[in-house]
Amino acid sequence: MDRERVAVFVVFALNGAVLGSWAPRVPALTAQVQAAPGAFGLALLGGSVGMVLAAAVSGRLLEWVGSRALIVIASVAAFVILPLLGVAGSVLWLGITLVGLGAAIGMVDVAMNMAAVLVERRVGKPIMPVFHAGFSFGALAGSVGAGVAAGHGLSPLRHLALAGVVGVVVLVAFTRWLPGGGAPVRSSEAAPAGGAVPVRRVVLWLLAGVAMCSAIAEGASSDWSALFMVTEHGLSEGAAALAFSGFALAMALARLGGAWLQQRFGATRTLVGGAAVAAVALWTAALVPSPIAGYIGFALGGAGLAAAFPIALSLAGEAGKRADDSGGEREIAFVAGVAYSGFLAGPPAIGAIAQVTSLSVSFIAVGLVSALIAAAAIGARRARDRERVPAHCPTPSPTTLN
């Protein structure tokens, strides 16, 4: 693996580590701000708002400065903001802090996926799931660290400050090898493959649906799995954090094989099969009254959801590819932005359902959302087929929807 691919993989891992570091500390943060599930769900909206706002401007920023600069600036911001979660004294301030953290994470997410598309185009085969495995391994490392910190009584402030320092050091070591060192160079004659702005393309809306459903399910597992295991099964905070660790580990391992699955079965079949596994797994975690079933359900849920987000963004980048081999920034930002908007409804909805029923019922709903990935994937394939004009039909891409 060359340096460019390693550097992009590391950035994915660092972004995952930010999520994995704070998400398992939800029980401690809930106690810190003295919030009920419904109120805490509203605080979690802050992160989603920040990510949506970031996605709205990230496409243009990428065109101006390139992926490398945006990755560095936004990553450093995320590592600086991360420890501030540990000093939030109210739901309001926690929500405001999450807006800033979400904006930084969102910019990194769009920029690193564009960097991954650049590498994917260079090597000529679908490897996006492997990069997203880096995100999952990073989330796993962060969640394990969070579990250890919680088990040893380390406060969120001290734990997250240490995580931020480590993140900056690692980022600096790999920055020089990141692709996209300058603003993209485009010929005036180059045009996106679909010939229309993102908001007018049905295929991008459907790919956004795939990513949004995946993001809601993944976000629910990261934000609420630890609290679910505490409230529904009576586990300690340290033991409960292992539920998300299992989710992240299974997702990471499945993503390592995701590129092979995509090449062997095609993007659509891979997405449909994964959606079925995720839905059944999350229903098992919600309905079977056993901690073991919870751990297994979250792990298999992670495996089933593994391919959805990376394949959706890879296909979005391919849909925006220009004749001069540039493009895709705005398409990736559009799909990511719609996906992030799902978080605006997801966290408060899960919290509201839990408030009037239980977190078990909330995860039944999350399983239903996971199942919708299959329908959106099939629709995206058909929409992309309709976009292709026979006279201008390009050579089949390695990231085809077939």
Helices and strands, number each (H, E), in the chain = 15, 0
Question: If you ran DSSP here, which 8-state letter would residue 396 be given?
Answer: P
Q: Which tokens belong to 307? A: 């391919």
Is pLDDT of 398 > 70? no
More confident call, 44 vs 102: 102
Please name the residue ranges forming H helices in 152-265: 156-174, 202-233, 237-256, 258-265
Write the pLDDT tens digit of every residue in 286-340: 999 889 999 999 999 999 999 999 999 999 988 888 777 678 888 999 999 888 8
Rounded CA separation 252/248 (Å): 6
Is pLDDT of 162 > 90? yes
Is pLDDT of 63 > 50? yes
The average pLDDT across 217-241 equals 83
Dihedral of alpha carbons 131, 135, 137, 141, sign: positive
Rounded CA separation 271/377 (Å): 7
Q: Say what the pLDDT of residue 321 is.
A: 80
Rounded CA separation 402/181 (Å): 33
Question: If you ran DSSP here, which 8-state letter would residue 192 be given?
Answer: -
With cut-offs at 50, 70 and 90, classify the pLDDT of residue 354: confident
Please name the residue ranges forming H helices in 124-201: 128-151, 156-174
Q: Which tokens belong to 299? A: 């792990």
- Contact (Cβ atoms closer than 8 angstroms) between residue 281 and residue 368: no
- Contact (Cβ atoms closer than 8 angstroms) between residue 371 and residue 286: no
pTM, two decimal places = 0.81
With cut-offs at 50, 70 and 90, classify the pLDDT of residue 391: very low
Q: Say what the pLDDT of residue 189 is.
A: 45
Rounded CA separation 399/262 (Å): 8
Q: Which tokens belong to 51? A: 């990510």
Q: What angle do CA 201, 374, 20 make, to 5 degrees?
A: 95
Helices 26-33 and 202-233 pack at an angle, to 10 degrees, of 80
With cut-offs at 50, 70 and 90, classify the pLDDT of residue 159: very high
The average pLDDT across 161-171 equals 95
How many Cβ atoms sit within 10 Å of the Cβ of residue 270?
24
Can you list the pairs that 151-155 forms with residues at least 24 positions away whose Cβ atoms lie under 8 Å? 151/236, 151/237, 151/238, 155/28, 155/86
- CA proximity to 250, closest of 136, 138, 147, 142: 136
- Cα separations in angstroms, 374 against 93, 275, 378, 379: 38, 6, 6, 9
- Contact (Cβ atoms closer than 8 angstroms) between residue 362 and residue 224: yes
Please give the single-letter amino acid code of residue 311.
Answer: I
Write the pLDDT tens digit of every residue in 103-130: 999 999 999 999 999 998 888 888 999 9
